[in-house]
Amino acid sequence: MMEAVETAPPVVPSRTGVWVGIAAITMSFAAYTSAMLVRESAAADWAHFHLPAILYWNTLVLLASSGTLEMARRRLALPEAAGAARAGQGLLAATLALGLLFVAGQVMAWRQLAAQGVYLATGPSASFFYVFTVLHALHLLGGVIGLVVTSARVRADGGTRALAALGSASVYWHFMAVLWVYLLVVLTIEV
């Protein structure tokens, strides 16, 4: 057997866990996407409709939340700098607020479509629109919980372990933004 040459990098299980979760979510949205492509070509009943314009504003809100999160993490990593911890916590709160604003914006988009008579079962394109957006919003709310829990840990003790956990939650949060941009592109092309 091989000689032990273990110069292991500092691996954090929560980081591994988040990447494994990202793999699972990526795979499931790949499945939904391929289902959409198969369904679109299965019959001639695919109806295009205009995406609500608010979706694009929501996109900006979500991308901004990724920005505030990174700014927050930079400040929290410098505990010795005066006021950095408070500024960091403020930016974390802003991130959460932007995240919830995004979800509220998605709800607005659903209501606008419903007002036009586009419901889940109206047609296959509408079905996939709601499946994509609702599932993404649910996953994002999971990210909100992750940020709330890990930022509370950072507040309680600003050690490297708490920051590493916040870092793992941040990876997930950024992935939610990337996933949303992907879904928006797919929806813009197909729906």
Partner 1 sequence: MDQPSAPMPPGMRETAALIHKLKLEPPQSFLRKYVFSLDHKVIGKQYLDLALVAVVTGMVLSWFMRFHLAFPKSTVPLLSTLAPKSAADGLMTPEMYLALMTMHGTIMVFFVLTTAPFAGFGNYVLPIQVGAEDMAFPRFNMMSFWVTFTAFLVLVAAFFVPDGPPISGWTAYAPLSAIGKDAGPGMGTGQTLWAISIALFCVGQLLGALNFIATTLDLRAKGMTLARLPFSTWAWFITSVIGLIAFSVLFPALVLLILDRVAGTSFFIPAGLVVSDKLQPHSGGSPMLWQHLFWFFGHPEVYIAILPGFGIISHILPAFLRKPLLGPRVLIACMAAIALLSYTVWGHHMFLSGMNPVSATLFSVPTLIITIPATITTLLWIGSIYGARIRLTTAALFCLGFVSVFVSGGISGFFLAQPSIDTYLHGTYFVVGHFHFVMAVAAIFGIFAGTYFWFPKMYGKMMNETLGKWHFFLTFIGVYCIFMPMHYLGLAGNVRRYSAFTDDYMQGSLPLHRFITFAALFTGAAQLLFLLNLVYSRLKGPPAPVNPWEATSLEWTVPSPPPLDNFGGAHPEVFHGPNEYGVKGSSGDFVMQNSPEKVAGE
Binding-site ranges for partner 1 (CB under 8 A): 1-2, 4-6, 8-14, 16-17, 20-21, 23-25, 27-28, 30-32, 35, 38-39, 42-46, 120-121, 124, 127, 131, 135, 161, 164-165
Q: 3 or 83: whose CB is closer to partner 1?
A: 3
Tokens of 70: 């990174």
Main-chain phi, psi angles of 44, to 5 degrees? -90, 25
Q: 91 or 147: whose CB is closer to partner 1?
A: 147
Q: 42 or 185: whose CB is closer to partner 1?
A: 42
Residue 116 has what DSSP assignment?
A: T
Q: Among positive and negative, which fits the CA dihedral 89, 90, 93, 95?
A: negative
Min dist. Cβ of residue 181 to partner 1 (A) = 20
Min dist. Cβ of residue 95 to partner 1 (A) = 23
Min dist. Cβ of residue 182 to partner 1 (A) = 15
Instruction: Please tell me whether residue 70 adopts helix, strand or coil conformation.
Output: helix
Q: 53 or 157: whose CB is closer to partner 1?
A: 157
**Selection from 122, 127, 103, 172 nearest residue 35 by Cα:** 127
**Count of positions (residues) in the chain:** 191
**Selection from 25, 33, 59 nearest residue 143 by Cα:** 25
Min dist. Cβ of residue 135 to partner 1 (A) = 8
Radius of gyration in angstroms for the set of CA atoms belonging to the chain, rounded to a whole number? 20
Q: 17 or 79: whose CB is closer to partner 1?
A: 17
Are 178 and 29 in contact by the 8 Å Cβ rule? The answer is no
Min dist. Cβ of residue 4 to partner 1 (A) = 5
